[in-house]
Amino acid sequence: MVAGMALIGVGLLWATQAAHGHFWTSLLGPFFVTGLGTAFAFIPVSIAALAGVAENDAGLASGLLNTSQQLGGAIGVALASTVASAHLKTLLHQGHSASAALSGGFQWAFWVCGATALLAVPVTFLLIRRDELAKAVEAATHPDPALPAASNA
């Protein structure tokens, strides 16, 4: 989870350097890193959110997880577009060209999103359920003798 959030943050901050908007040279790398980070972040979040949930509550937990991800995404898009449009208007009023103002607005939006992702890294450590983690480590290091051992066949 931590590595994923760090990759998302680094990828978005790297995207702020795309001054001329050439996709293949300026944006493909940052978006690849951000996409890789998304996989490393969202899959562990799903696993952690559904771990330890009773079978009869799994549908409810999954629905709450999906709803929170959708709401978080909507709030993130709203925040990024507000930052981008506010900076776009500021640059236009200062006499910048429309393309330069648009690039500047997106650059600020990427800064905000990247900083938010990097701020999520230390928060991730606060959200780890240490008691469940300790139980998982204990179970992995001291397997239950009543369970059959895995075969090498």
Mean pLDDT of the chain: 84
Q: Report how far residue 58's alpha carbon sits from residue 64's, in angstroms, rounded to the nearest whole number.
A: 10
In whole angstroms, give the CA distance from residue 119 to residue 116.
5
Does position 83 have pLDDT exceeding 90, yes or no?
Answer: yes
pLDDT tens column, 7-29: 999 999 888 887 666 666 677 88
Taking the domains of the chain in order of start, what are their residue ranges? 2-141
In the predicted structure, residue 148 carries a pLDDT above the cut 70: no
Task: Mark 33-55 as b/e (b = at least 16 C-beta within 10 Å).
Answer: bbeebbebbeebbeebbeeeeee
Mind listing the pLDDT tens digit for each residue in 32-50?
999 999 999 988 888 888 8
Model pTM score: 0.74
> Strand ranges (DSSP E) for the chain?
none
